[in-house]
Amino acid sequence: MRQFFRQINVRQKALVLLSISMVSVFAMNLTSNLWLANKNPMHENLAGLTPLLYTPNTQSLSPEEWLVYLNKKQNNFDIKGVAVYDYQGRLDASSAGDFPSSLGDLDPATLGSSRALIPGVGFTLMVDLKAHTLKIFAFEIMVISALLLIGGIIMIYVILYFINRLITRPILSLTDTTNEIALEQNYSLRARRFYPDEVGTLAENFNFMLNRIQQDDYMMRQEKEKAEQSRLRAIELSKKMHDTNERLAFEVKVRARVEHKLTDFQHYLNNIIDSMPSAIIAIDQDLQVSQWNKGATELTKVPRDNAIYQPLEESCGFLFPYLQKITDSLEKQSINKIERVAYSIGDDEQFLDITIYPLLDTTRSGAVIRIDDVTERTQMENMMVQSEKMMSLGGLAAGMAHEINNPLGAIVQTVQNIKRRLNPAISRNQEVANELELELDQVVSYIQAREIFDFLENIYSAGERAATIVSNMLQFSRQSSKSLQAQDIHSILNRSISIARNEYRLSEGYDFQSINLKQNYDLTLPTVPCISSELEQVILNLLKNAAQALQEYSKQQPDSWQGEITLSTWRDDDSAYISVEDNGPGMDDDTCKHIFEPFFTTKEVGMGTGLGLSVSFFIITTHHKGQMHVQSSIGKGTKFSLQLPIKPPILTVES
């Protein structure tokens, strides 16, 4: 209730208190009336007369006898007269008194005060009464009226208490505060807000007004102090103004000379940029062109005046797919490079390298795009890859189809025919044996005893193996697609080993069979996106170099020494690793630094071109987006490691 009175205004408080008082008085009056009605002695004493009509030998009494009988049996009333009515409500007999002839003619208003009806068995009595308890009843009414008076006084006191607490006290508190402020001029005092009603709002607004007055008084003092300081400052500034005007006149002359030099320097920079063979395009943070050199005009055939202040995708349309990378460079302040972008002008196809350099100037955002034509370099690299592949095959691939496949086919077919001619289950073989008077089963038993069938099986297996080797060599020598496909690394390694064994077995001065080959494969390695033919070329080139180094190194070692090549695979995070390690002579640090450079070789003249490792490095790093490393030291062998991403690179290599 207290919280409720805090939330309403003064008018509502007065209405609520008045309503409470009216409801309380009404409730008290209603309660007293109901109580008096229930406490009427007429009703209570009349109820006590009813049992007297049901006693034996009372049904035949006359009105005078009933009068004597009822006055004798009770002393609460003086019965002055009695009338007897039959069951139909007609007057049967009566004593002294004026009674109606029928109950239907009875006036209801006369009942309850001095006349009453008492029902009996088959008849009804009507009696005239004179109560002795009316004085007692009047006394009870006086007591109840006194109690109502006292309750009303208490209620008025309670209402006055709440009016004082909720209305008068906040107003008096606000009045005392205003008087104190008026006498002492103390604007730091604040009126107390008792409740959130009109008086509370008045106190709050009064406090807000005091805050404004206090702030204005403080600001007036501050402004007065500032005015004095400004006057002193104005005197000081007037003295400095004269000196400043003199310096400005001198700086205007200097600025004119600097602007002239800047103009000359701008022309000089433009000449430098135009003299560069690369296309140079500068853009701002909105990807609009701000610089366009002569190389960009020659590349795109768009004049400088038509490109400046235009969106980059309109001036240089082939850069539209790479706008996201350009935006990333602007936001992350990082250099992005896009290699081998195909660009066609008419019937000519070019390859471009695009490099985005973000501006380091912090005053404004922008970037410089350098575009280099790498068409000739790309074509040369493709030629080098294919040339090295063909060199690794040598003369073996040229006549392989007819010189090896045909004899191999004849050998395999002949072995199959021999097995078929010796099979006793074929009826023709039995017929020929019978004509020659031979026991075919004995011949077969003899051939089995002499293990001739095993020899034939070895011949057949060797022929199949040779056919597989020829097939691998033919597949390796063909020009393959440059798209990355998921491949089993171990299958590629096994094919490369198979090719290497046969090539070096036939090559003069090399015997791959004399080398101990170890294979440490991680069989849980998943498929890796790669170009199988190019990866075979890299592995074959590493095996060839290792075999050549071991062959030369074995001449300096004792007879018990044996060359060894170890191929290993493993996985680390999202990369697959391949290593080719030998126990050969090794290389010094200077050789390791230049080992991947084109035309760099440690072999004798005529033994190598110096392109094998450089082409292999290019295949791994550019075509496969991987890495290639070498670890070597004199006398401790050499280890080449290839790292290939297991997830396919975003950019695929063009054919």
Q: Is residue 261 part of a domain?
A: no
What is the average pLDDT across 527-543?
90
Same domain, 629 and 492: yes
Residue 473's pLDDT band (boundaries 50, 70, 90)? low
Question: Interhelix angle for 41-49 vs 134-163, to 10°?
Answer: 140
The pLDDT of residue 509 is 52
Same domain, 153 and 274: no
Residue 542's pLDDT band (boundaries 50, 70, 90)? very high
CA–CA distances in Å: residue 130 to residues 96, 475, 490:
14, 142, 132
Same domain, 172 and 317: no
Segment (H or E) for 6 = helix 2-7
Q: Which of 568, 556, 555, 575 is nearest to 648 (CA)?
A: 575
124 in Cβ contact with 106 (< 8 Å): no
Residue scoring higher pLDDT (241 or 501): 241
Dist. CA 347–CA 92, nearest whole Å: 143
Tell me the Ramachandran region of residue 254: left when phi exceeds 0, alpha when psi lies from -120 to 50, beta otherwise: alpha
Cβ neighbours of 422 (radius 10 Å): 17
Least reliable range by pLDDT among 159-168, 260-269, 377-386, 536-545: 377-386
Same domain, 502 and 368: no
Angle at 441 between CA 439 and CA 446, to 5 degrees: 100
The pLDDT of residue 277 is 78
Dist. CA 63–CA 543, nearest whole Å: 151
Cβ neighbours of 551 (radius 10 Å): 18
Same domain, 638 and 611: yes
Count structural domains, the chain: 4
Residue scoring higher pLDDT (198 or 315): 315
Least reliable range by pLDDT among 94-98, 111-115, 133-137, 338-342: 133-137
The pLDDT of residue 577 is 95
Q: What is the pLDDT of residues 418-436, one digit of tens each?
A: 888 888 888 888 888 888 8
The pLDDT of residue 569 is 95
48 in Cβ contact with 74 (< 8 Å): yes
Mean pLDDT of the chain: 77
Contacts of 414 (CB under 8 A, 6+ apart): none
Least reliable range by pLDDT among 370-374, 411-415, 465-469: 465-469
Q: Is residue 112 part of a domain?
A: yes
Residue 492's pLDDT band (boundaries 50, 70, 90)? very high
Dist. CA 70–CA 55, nearest whole Å: 12
Same domain, 593 and 639: yes
**Residues paired with residue 341 on neighbouring β-strands, in sequence order:** 352
Same domain, 369 and 350: yes
The pLDDT of residue 655 is 35
Q: Which two tokens stand for residue 406?
A: 């045909």
Q: Is residue 622 part of a domain?
A: yes
Residue scoring higher pLDDT (36 or 363): 363
Domain boundary among 379, 397, 426: 379
Q: Is residue 418 part of a domain?
A: no
Same domain, 85 and 156: no
Dist. CA 360–CA 340, nearest whole Å: 27
The pLDDT of residue 642 is 94
The pLDDT of residue 645 is 93
Query: What is the extent of the structural domain holding 25?
Result: 1-37+136-181
Q: What is the pLDDT of residues 398-415, one digit of tens each?
A: 566 557 777 877 888 888
Residue scoring higher pLDDT (623 or 149): 623
Residue 130's pLDDT band (boundaries 50, 70, 90)? low
Residue 186's pLDDT band (boundaries 50, 70, 90)? confident
Same domain, 102 and 30: no
Contacts of 203 (CB under 8 A, 6+ apart): 170, 173, 174, 191, 192, 193, 194
Is pLDDT of 503 > 70? no
Q: Output the DSSP codes for 422-450.
A: T-TTSHHHHHHHHHTT--HHHHHHHHHHT
* Segment of 158-162, 271-275, 508-512, 541-545 carrying the highest mean pLDDT: 541-545
Same domain, 52 and 84: yes
Q: Is residue 257 part of a domain?
A: no
Q: Is residue 126 part of a domain?
A: yes
443-475 burial, b if ≥16 CB within 10 A, otherwise e?
Answer: ebeebeeeeeeeebeeebeebeebbebbebbee
The pLDDT of residue 39 is 55
Q: What is the pLDDT of residues 2-59, one digit of tens each?
A: 666 666 655 566 667 667 766 776 677 667 666 655 555 555 566 666 776 666 666 6
Segment (H or E) for 10 = helix 10-38
The pLDDT of residue 111 is 65
CATH number of the domain residue 504 falls in: 3.30.565.10
The pLDDT of residue 402 is 58
Least reliable range by pLDDT among 103-112, 555-564, 570-579: 103-112
Residue 506's pLDDT band (boundaries 50, 70, 90)? very low
Q: Is residue 389 part of a domain?
A: no
The pLDDT of residue 532 is 87
pTM over 0.85: no
Q: Output the DSSP codes for 473-537.
A: HHHHHSPPP-S-EEE-HHHHHHHHHHHHHHHHHHSTT--GGGSEEEEE--TT---EEE-HHHHHH
Q: What is the pLDDT of residues 562-616, one digit of tens each?
A: 889 999 999 988 899 999 999 989 998 888 887 887 667 777 654 555 667 878 8
The pLDDT of residue 6 is 62
Domain boundary among 379, 409, 427: 379
Q: What is the pLDDT of residues 63-77, one digit of tens each?
A: 777 777 777 776 666
The pLDDT of residue 653 is 42
The pLDDT of residue 46 is 63
Q: Is residue 367 part of a domain?
A: yes
Same domain, 126 and 147: no
Domain boundary among 328, 345, 379: 379
Residue 644's pLDDT band (boundaries 50, 70, 90)? very high
164 in Cβ contact with 199 (< 8 Å): no
Dist. CA 522–CA 490, nearest whole Å: 9
Same domain, 275 and 359: yes
